[in-house]
Amino acid sequence: VREIIGSKFPNIKGLEFANFKNQLDYLQNKYSIIKAEDLIEYAINKKTSLPKNPCYLTFDDGYKDHIEYVLPELKKRKIQGSFFPASKPIINHDLLNTNAIQFILASCENLEKLIKELNTKCIEYGVSEDEINKLWLSIDDRDRFDNRSVTYVKRMLQRELPEEIRSKVTDMLFEKYVGVSQKDFSIDLYLSKEEVSQLVSEGMYVGSHSHSHYWMNEESLESQKKEIELSLVFLDKIGAPTKDWIMCYPNGAYNDDTLSILRKKKCVVGLTCNVGHGLLKRHKLLEL
Ligand SMILES: [Zn+2]
Per-residue model confidence as pLDDT tens digits over 81-133: 999 999 999 999 999 988 999 999 999 989 999 999 999 999 999 889 998 99
Residue 10 lies in a domain: no
DSSP conformation letters of 84-150: E--HHHHHH----HHHHHHHHHHH-S-HHHHHHHHHHHHHHTT--HHHHHHHHHH--TT-SS--HHH
pLDDT at site 231: 98
The rounded Å distance from CA 2 to ligand 1 centre is 17
Residue 1 lies in a domain: no
Inform me whether the pLDDT recorded for 77 exceeds 80: yes
pLDDT at site 197: 98
CB atoms within 10 A of CB 202: 13
The rounded Å distance from CA 227 to ligand 1 centre is 14
Q: What's the whole-number average pLDDT of the chain? A: 91
Inform me whether the pLDDT recorded for 164 exceeds 90: no
Residue 3 lies in a domain: no
Inform me whether the pLDDT recorded for 213 exceeds 90: yes
Ion ligand 1 nearby residues (CB, 5 A) = 60-61, 250
The rounded Å distance from CA 60 to ligand 1 centre is 5
The rounded Å distance from CA 52 to ligand 1 centre is 28
Per-residue model confidence as pLDDT tens digits over 217-276: 999 999 999 999 999 999 999 999 999 999 999 999 999 999 999 999 999 999 988 776
What DSSP character marks residue 203? T
The range of the structural domain enclosing residue 138 comes to 97-185
Residue 74 lies in a domain: yes
Per-residue model confidence as pLDDT tens digits over 3-38: 766 677 777 777 888 899 999 999 999 999 999 999
- The burial class, CB within 10 Å (0-12 / 13-18 / 19+), for 124 is exposed
The rounded Å distance from CA 128 to ligand 1 centre is 31
Inform me whether the pLDDT recorded for 286 exceeds 90: no
pLDDT at site 211: 97
Say yes or no: 180 and 198 in one domain. no
Say yes or no: 145 and 109 in one domain. yes
Give the domain-ending residue among 166, 185, 204: 185
The rounded Å distance from CA 71 to ligand 1 centre is 18
Say yes or no: 79 and 37 in one domain. yes
Say yes or no: 77 and 145 in one domain. no
